[in-house]
Structure 1
């Protein structure tokens, strides 16, 4: 028998386990970044609407969100009993709040984008909000970057709205139209569409009460049947 194998056989089991764990840490892949999830409220005390806003960014600038992914995630989420939807910006005051609310992920050239909830896919040139209290309404307040929305012949598929961030001194914000196949480095969810309408499942006490009631009814029926017999 080789000396090193005899030594390994006599090592305490805990020492072998710790050595294996240490080796696994050395060779295991590491994650250097995580998805950003920031939540803020535009309070009525600050002149806001009382709604909550959440900004989410991808784990990497090389993995942008599609609009469909962002919209589905927003509409499937809720906070404090309020239904989520891709954010709507309906005033300069709300735009100013949104500008300073989050630390936006920026990519190459110090620029970034975040999906908002509007589109002109139904009728070219008619931008409408897709969710929230403004769902279906024409977009009245706008903050387009120069050259946007893109509406030239051959570019009719630039149907989606995103907030555009240009990092610098100062950082500037505006709106851009994005093509259907495009991606963004984040999206903004707004919670302000009233309570979630799903019916909650009964808790343990509710189930216990329902079971007791059913049992009582069964006993009562058996007594009535015995009395008739």
Structure 2
């Protein structure tokens, strides 16, 4: 029976994500959480987005991280160690059957924030081999590359599951994704009335004992 229970627990663990602890960024008051894929647990960008939005921390709902400043970029790269991870940026594209090319629109953040700060590697975004045998999906999703460029550039565009075909089979480029939490709970939690009643009664009892003495 014990062996059977352990087997069930082992199988159940295959669908669980790697554990991560939110890290606080004092420059903007947000928390960030790095989730790393395993051999048994991998998500594409859309699935990672949905997973992030199912989380919450410190009263704030989660979402794929949006990088809107150099300070935030440096924090995610140097402190969190988010190299090779999905971020919350995306592009929309449509296929032109006349010329056989993809038409790409402006990049956006999942949060709706302005996509004004950018830090793409030189030559990126290049929508490499969109809709080809090598990359069947258009590169419409943002990720941190594994190494920074000469000018400390870090961003790369990738396809939905960040994969491409090689002579050895499918190769996945990303290793995980970053979840951002913007806390919305800014007021203290009210003290239950029962605590106030208990405290008031205790103070009254002490005062009576002091007077009797």
Match in the other structure for 1:124: 104
Stretches of structure 1 lacking an aligned partner (at least 5 in a row): 1-19, 105-111, 196-229
Q: How far apart are the structure 1 equivalents of 2:90 and 2:53? A: 16
TM-score normalised per structure 2: 0.60
Count of residue pairs brought into register by the alignment:
154
SS at match of 2:66: coil
Structure 1 residue 159 corresponds to structure 2 residue 135: no
Shift of 1:103: 4.5
1:84 aligns with 2:62: yes
Structure 1 length-normalised TM: 0.56
- Over the aligned positions, Cα root-mean-square deviation in angstroms equals 3.4
C-alpha contact (below 8 Å) 1:119/1:130 kept by paired residues: yes
1:103/1:152 Cα in 2 relative to 1: closer, same or farther (>3 Å)?
A: closer
* CA drift at 1:39: 1.6
Matched, 1:142 2:118: yes
Structure 1 stretches of at least 4 aligned residues deviating more than 2 Å after TM superposition: 27-31, 62-65, 101-104, 151-156, 180-184
Deviation at 1:52, TM superposition (A): 0.6
1:40 matched to 2:18? The reply is no
| Cα distance, 1:100 vs structure 2 | 1.9
The match for 1:95 among 61, 73, 86 is 73
Alpha-carbon distance between aligned partners in 2 of 1:193 and 1:119, rounded to the nearest angstrom = 24
Give the distance between the partners of 1:136 and 1:151, measured in 2 at CA: 23
Instruction: Return the index of the structure with the highest Cα Rg.
Output: 1
Q: Residue 14 of structure 1 aligns with which residue?
A: none
User: How far 1:64 sits from its partner (Å)?
Assistant: 3.5
Q: 1:71 is matched with which residue?
A: 49
Cα shift readout 1:109-160 (whole Å, capped 9, x = no counterpart): xxx52111111116724001112xxx153x1111111221124685681100
In 2, Cα distance between equivalents of 1:100 and 1:189: 16
Gapped runs of 5+ residues in structure 2? 94-102, 132-136, 164-173, 186-213
Greater fraction helix = 1
In structure 1, distance between residues paired with 2:113 and 2:76: 22
